[in-house]
């Protein structure tokens, strides 16, 4: 999608940031939500609307914002037709190269027990060429239970999902 598909919505006097859109036909409700965000004091740079933009709960689905020193709960994964959730990525505790160099396929296989995956392939180029690519092993990430516990003041866990399979590629 090129710049020719990008539309700058005229800055209204009361917008704090510009509103840009790749969405051709913005629903009235989504446009009102985007305008509210463009007036919000913690939103900076711009409000962006993706091509599939539609009205959400407080923020358009397909809307993108950046905030200064704030989290707006309705701007984080809230879609009327989407399975609402909290963190679905714990963050890394090891860099990709560190994981590849320090973990073993055997210990990574044990961590993946009960999950269908394509085993570990070998790195084809670079400093770790010929070694098993263990960069996405569970041990390379923070413990999700600890991350969820740290979010308890923001969320109410209802169910814990267990991965059944992993497709990488």
Query: Which residue ranges make up each domain of the chain?
Result: 3-75, 90-169
Task: Look at residue 134 and tell me whether its pLDDT is greater than 90.
Answer: yes
3-state secondary structure of 52: strand
Cα distance between residue 136 and residue 133, in whole Å: 8
Q: What pLDDT score does 104 carry?
A: 96
Query: What would the pLDDT profile of 144-153 be if each residue is shown by its tens digit?
Result: 888 778 777 7
The larger pLDDT score, comparing residue 38 to residue 167, is at 38
Q: What pLDDT score does 131 carry?
A: 93
Q: What pLDDT score does 83 carry?
A: 45
Beta strands 19-21 and 43-54: pairing type? Answer: parallel
Q: What pLDDT score does 88 carry?
A: 56
Number of H helices and number of E strands within the chain?
Answer: 4, 4
pTM for the model: 0.48
Contact of 133 with 120, CB cutoff 8 Å = yes
Cα distance between residue 117 and residue 109, in whole Å: 10
pLDDT band at 119 (very low <50, low <70, confident <90, very high): confident
């Amino acid at each position: 999608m090129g710049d020719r598909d990008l539309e700058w919505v005229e800055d209204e006097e009361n917008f704090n940031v510009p509103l840009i859109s790749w969405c051709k036909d913005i629903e009235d409700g989504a446009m009102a939500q985007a305008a509210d965000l463009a007036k919000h004091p913690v939103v900076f740079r711009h409000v962006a609307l993706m091509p599939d933009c539609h009205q959400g709960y407080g923020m358009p689905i397909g809307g993108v914002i950046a905030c200064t020193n704030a989290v707006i709960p309705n701007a984080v994964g809230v879609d009327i037709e989407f399975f609402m959730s909290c963190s679905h990525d714990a963050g890394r505790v090891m860099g990709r190269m560190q994981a590849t160099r320090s973990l073993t396929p055997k210990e990574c296989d044990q961590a993946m027990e009960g999950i269908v995956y394509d085993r570990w392939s070998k790195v084809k180029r670079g400093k770790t060429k010929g070694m098993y690519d263990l960069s996405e092993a569970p041990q390379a990430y923070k413990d999700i239970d600890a991350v969820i516990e740290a979010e308890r003041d923001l969320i109410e866990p209802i169910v814990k999902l267990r991965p059944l399979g992993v497709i990488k590629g």
